[in-house]
């Protein structure tokens, strides 16, 4: 496997419970996923990120773990999981899993023991306070569904800290036994063959919580410690972290100030996500240009992971009130489309009015901007959402495979499914499904396959530098380039409905034999680069130069 494989990866994120059900009990499972690996392989992805796979009471879609050393019996056994790793590896696909160690479920044996007695060996594994912390009504992650961050436990007769829901008590990271246990969990899964972890809620893992202090100090040392451990256990293992923090705080997650990248390899780019959505809403490239300009410089080996949709709401909290208003007006105008007062709980296709041109444009942008692209299951066929479901479940409906009952997801009775399959209307499985799109070379799925294949020929995107090409252009037209040892790629995207022409002849010196490698339509040869045409909502990926 190549060096730094993660910078050449295309990551596909899925929840086992909603992907494919092999035994007809209504819940997706590992064997179902194994049966769909050929589909994923053909799509061209080479890394799977699995949302939590562990036993869990399931009150936060598995992000409330009750046993870190097993797989949820609804999904199968550890044996099935090992088989999945083997079958994925056969197809060149690496598997990373969610590592949710900021907290456990309140049903985890550690917490049950911890609360039961002051003498429990696990008492100090959690974060307690004898008195009611005055800041307990601050720092909630799920406003509206969560009222406080400290709750009183009647058995322990103490307050315990929970950054997330009440049933997710935070682990005490300052306890060396907890640190050791987290390393052991990583080592266990690495030993089984996972290629790394998507680390959940990293800023909260490393906060050294002090009751009454809403901005507790952070322990970045733990990230260096964990990185060392993980890397020694498996040299090419990768940590991909969720750290939705202020831009000037981001680099500390990658490594020491001014030093090498000795902590997290890859961070999700939440800022770019919000700015991309804003740019699409306003049909104005400025937010993207700002994001590219303001991106902190990463230490060697550091990498961004880009995304448009994930399993949570689109978080717009880093935008200004006015920017947020514009996005909401365009993409989530009705109350029930919004969540937590900061985001949108819809899939991309419905947000973009199911306009095929705009969906392609959005994904062409994401996949051509610097970083490693992450794609959420179902987006490749343009699935919709079910706003009648609670909260984030709206975008967690079963994968739509075919016209068979339940969209081919499961043979169970519809009322026994983990969540209903979207049926009827423009997003129903009868219309939107993988099988129909497989047979149609003009489908969104076929387009994704083509686009991902093209990405393979453009390693500059993942490996190189990405810069805005600053030439006079209409507000809605973005030109950017990616440069690496392998060569140069040029990209032109038009966020508006009106076709445009840009003069990019300043780049002529960088062009050897410019040619379109991916575009929304056939364009005239880009020779000279002085009249680069791009249609309404169009895009062009132009190979400028390739180094032998």
Q: Is 65 in the site for ligand GLC (CB under 6 A)?
A: no
What are the tokens at 523?
Answer: 């364009």
Considering CB under 6 A, how many residues would be counted as binding ligand GLC? 9
Residues of this chain, 253-282, that bind ligand GLC according to CB under 6 A: none
Residue nearest to ligand GLC (CB): 63
| Minimum CB distance to ligand GLC smaller for 199 or for 272 | 199
Q: How far is the CB of 37 from ligand GLC (least distance, A)?
A: 24
| Minimum CB distance to ligand GLC smaller for 28 or for 514 | 28
CB atoms within 10 A of CB 2: 8
| Minimum CB distance to ligand GLC smaller for 347 or for 543 | 347
Q: How far is the CB of 151 from ligand GLC (least distance, A)?
A: 16
200 belongs to the catalytic site:
yes
| Minimum CB distance to ligand GLC smaller for 315 or for 463 | 315
Q: Is 63 in the site for ligand GLC (CB under 6 A)?
A: yes
CB atoms within 10 A of CB 433: 23
Site string for ligand GLC, 205-244 (x = CB under 6 A): -------------------------------------x--
Phi, psi of 401 (to 5 degrees): -90, -40
Element (H, E) at 113: helix 109-116
Contact (Cβ atoms closer than 8 angstroms) between residue 55 and residue 17? no
- CA dist 41 and 81 (Å) reads 18
Residues of this chain, 471-510, that bind ligand GLC according to CB under 6 A: none
Residues of this chain, 413-452, that bind ligand GLC according to CB under 6 A: none
232-256 residues labelled b (16+ CB within 10 A) or e (exposed): eebeebbbbbbbbbeeeebbbbbbe
| Minimum CB distance to ligand GLC smaller for 49 or for 448 | 49
Q: How far is the CB of 252 from ligand GLC (least distance, A)?
A: 19
Q: How far is the CB of 19 from ligand GLC (least distance, A)?
A: 17
| Minimum CB distance to ligand GLC smaller for 10 or for 99 | 99
What are the tokens at 401?
Answer: 């495979």
Which residues on adjacent β-strands are paired with residue 373?
306
- CA dist 346 and 233 (Å) reads 39
**Binds ligand GLC (CB under 6 A): choice among 15, 106, 170, 200:** 200
Pairing status of strand 343-344 against strand 372-376: unpaired
- CA dist 489 and 509 (Å) reads 13
- CA dist 217 and 526 (Å) reads 54
What are the tokens at 109?
Answer: 């044996």
Q: How far is the CB of 311 from ligand GLC (least distance, A)?
A: 6
Q: How far is the CB of 271 from ligand GLC (least distance, A)?
A: 16
CB atoms within 10 A of CB 123: 19
Site string for ligand GLC, 313-332 (x = CB under 6 A): --------------------
Pairing status of strand 150-153 against strand 128-129: unpaired
Q: How far is the CB of 521 from ligand GLC (least distance, A)?
A: 37
CB atoms within 10 A of CB 41: 16
Residues of this chain, 73-102, that bind ligand GLC according to CB under 6 A: 100
Residues of this chain, 160-199, that bind ligand GLC according to CB under 6 A: 164
Q: Is 339 in the site for ligand GLC (CB under 6 A)?
A: no
**Binds ligand GLC (CB under 6 A): choice among 20, 30, 201, 240:** 201
What are the tokens at 216?
Answer: 């507790």
The torsion defined by the Cα of 370, 278, 48 and 517, in degrees rounded to 10, comes to -50
Residue in 242, 313, 379, 449 annotated catalytic = 242
| Minimum CB distance to ligand GLC smaller for 200 or for 460 | 200
The full 3-state SS of 486-547, as one line of letters, equals CEEEEEEEECCCCCEEECCHHHHHHCCCCEEEEECCCCCCCCCCCCEEECCCCEEEEEEEEC
- Give which of 139, 156, 247 is closest to 148, Cα–Cα: 139
- CA dist 47 and 378 (Å) reads 16
Q: How far is the CB of 317 from ligand GLC (least distance, A)?
A: 13
| Minimum CB distance to ligand GLC smaller for 63 or for 222 | 63
- CA dist 32 and 20 (Å) reads 5
**Binds ligand GLC (CB under 6 A): choice among 21, 106, 269, 312:** 312
| Minimum CB distance to ligand GLC smaller for 100 or for 178 | 100
Q: How far is the CB of 528 from ligand GLC (least distance, A)?
A: 47
Residue in 64, 106, 200, 460 annotated catalytic = 200
- The set of residues, in sequence order, having a beta carbon less than 8 Å from that of 115 and lying 6+ positions away, is 153, 155, 156, 160
Q: How far is the CB of 484 from ligand GLC (least distance, A)?
A: 31
| Minimum CB distance to ligand GLC smaller for 198 or for 493 | 198
242 belongs to the catalytic site:
yes
- CA dist 317 and 327 (Å) reads 11
Catalytic residues: 200, 242
Site for ligand GLC, rule CB under 6 A: 60, 63, 100, 164, 200-201, 242, 311-312
């Amino acid at each position: 496997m190549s060096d730094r494989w993660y910078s050449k990866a295309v990551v596909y994120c899925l929840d086992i419970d909603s992907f494919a059900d092999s035994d007809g009990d209504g819940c997706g499972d590992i064997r179902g996923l194994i049966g769909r690996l050929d589909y994923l392989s053909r799509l061209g992805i080479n890394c799977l990120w699995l949302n939590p796979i562990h036993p869990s009471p399931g009150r936060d879609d598995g992000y409330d773990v009750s046993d870190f050393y097993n797989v949820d019996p609804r999904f199968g056994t550890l044996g099935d999981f090992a088989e999945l790793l083997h079958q994925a590896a056969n197809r060149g696909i690496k598997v990373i899993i969610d590592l949710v160690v900021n907290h456990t479920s309140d049903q985890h044996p550690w917490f049950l023991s911890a609360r039961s007695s002051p003498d429990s060996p696990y008492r100090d594994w959690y974060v307690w306070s004898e008195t009611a912390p005055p800041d307990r009504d601050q720092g909630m992650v799920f406003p509206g569904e969560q009222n406080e961050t400290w709750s009183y436990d009647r058995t322990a007769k103490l307050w315990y800290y929970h950054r997330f829901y009440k049933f997710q008590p935070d682990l005490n990271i300052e306890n060396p036994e907890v640190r050791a246990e987290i390393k052991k969990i990583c080592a266990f899964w690495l030993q089984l063959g996972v290629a790394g972890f998507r680390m959940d809620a990293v800023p909260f893992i490393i906060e050294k919580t002090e009751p009454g202090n809403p901005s507790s100090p952070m322990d970045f040392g733990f990230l260096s410690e964990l990185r060392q451990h993980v890397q020694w256990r498996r040299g090419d293992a990768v940590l991909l972290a969720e750290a939705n923090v202020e831009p000037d705080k981001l680099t500390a997650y990658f490594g020491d100030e001014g030093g090498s990248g000795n902590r997290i390899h890859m961070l999700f780019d939440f800022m770019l996500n919000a700015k991309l959505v804003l740019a699409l809403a306003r049909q104005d490239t400025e937010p993207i240009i700002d994001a590219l300009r303001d991106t902190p410089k990463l230490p060697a080996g550091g990498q961004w992971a880009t995304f448009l949709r994930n399993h949570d709401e689109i978080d717009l909290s880093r935008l200004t009130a006015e920017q947020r208003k514009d996005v909401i007006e365009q993409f989530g105008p009705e109350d029930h489309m919004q969540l937590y007062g900061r985001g949108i709980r819809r899939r991309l296709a419905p947000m973009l009015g199911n306009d095929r041109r705009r969906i392609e444009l959005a994904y062409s942008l994401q996949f051509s901007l610097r970083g490693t692209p992450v794609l959420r299951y179902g987006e490749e066929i343009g699935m919709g959402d079910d706003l009648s479901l609670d909260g984030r479940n709206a975008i967690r409906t079963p994968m739509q495979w075919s016209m068979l009952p339940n969209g081919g997801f499961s043979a169970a009775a519809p009322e026994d499914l983990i969540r209903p399959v979207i049926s009827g209307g423009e997003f129903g499985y009868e219309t939107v499904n993988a099988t129909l799109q497989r047979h149609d070379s003009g489908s969104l799925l076929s387009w994704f396959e083509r686009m991902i294949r093209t990405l393979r020929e453009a390693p500059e995107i993942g490996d190189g530098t990405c810069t805005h090409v600053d030439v006079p252009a209409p507000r809605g037209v973005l030109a950017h380039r990616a440069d690496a040892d392998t060569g140069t790629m040029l990209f032109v995207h038009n966020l508006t409905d009106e076709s445009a022409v840009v003069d990019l002849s300043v780049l002529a010196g960088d062009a050897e034999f410019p040619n379109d490698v991916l575009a929304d339509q056939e364009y005239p040869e880009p020779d000279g680069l002085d009249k680069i045409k791009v249609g309404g909502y169009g895009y062009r990926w132009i190979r400028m130069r390739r180094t032998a």
